[in-house]
Amino acid sequence: MKIHGINKLTLLDYPGKLACLLFTGHCNYRCPFCHNASLVLCPDTQPVISDPEIFDFLKKRRGVLEGVCISGGEPTLHQGLEEFIKKIRELGFAVKLDTNGTNPDVLYRLLEQGLLDMTAMDIKNSPEKYALTCGLAHIDLEPVKESTALLMKSSTAYEFRTTLVQEFHSLSDMEAIGQWLHGASHYYLQSFKDSGDLIGHDLHACSKEDLLHFLDVAHPHFQHVSLRGTE
């Protein structure tokens, strides 16, 4: 595993747990609103934190941190992910995976072995606008749909989340997402923020009023739905 960044303490990325956040490089999407453009477009130019450094840090944080979030980029692109998670769990940490859902076979193996305590899957947009929102000319949505079905059938905690961007999302998109994922447990609507390291340009956050309208449309379809990152 190549880890290119670490947030040593996060109160937001693993609900209910004190955690650290690890960032992998590479992604098979090119979402214009991605806030980790350097990790997606040129990961090999980014610094690498070695495995010994990562595990020395985690050993020192036992009893303080409760969980480890693995994000990206897209972590499931890395062949060493499974063994990496096993080593983290051996130290007593809960593990949360952030994924775009394009590798359901990897997700299935991790869930089947009980290696994940929580999964967060990004839902980019309605099926009709998925490729556009991912910055691609075409996308095979079936693997993504397979991953959503896996999570909804799993006993492992999960959440779906959509980052809302004025230029990409509409109320009709939200209704389509709701119908697609109807009955899912947790769904979060996240407000877009310009990190300064975006893939695209000239993108804008939705207004608070629009976010509340999105929330109203999503509400009937999910057991729990709420806004995130709107403070």
pLDDT in tens, 110-121: 999 999 999 999
pLDDT tops 80 at residue 229: no
CATH 3.90.1300.10 fits 3-228, yes or no: no
- For residue 11, with 0-12 CB atoms within 10 Å meaning exposed, 13-18 middle and 19 or more buried, which class applies? exposed
* 134: Cα within 13 Å, side-chain hemisphere: 25
Number of C-beta neighbours around residue 138 at 10 A? 8
pLDDT tops 90 at residue 200: no
The pLDDT assigned to 195 comes to 79
Amino acid symbol at 89: R
Phi-psi region of 53 (alpha: psi -120 to 50; beta: other; left: phi over 0): alpha
Name the DSSP class of 134: T
Percent helix / strand / coil, the chain, rounded to 5: 35, 25, 40
pTM of the model: 0.95
Domain-wise residue ranges, the chain: 3-228
pLDDT tens, position by position, 155-177: 999 999 999 999 999 999 999 99
pLDDT tens, position by position, 78-92: 999 999 999 999 999
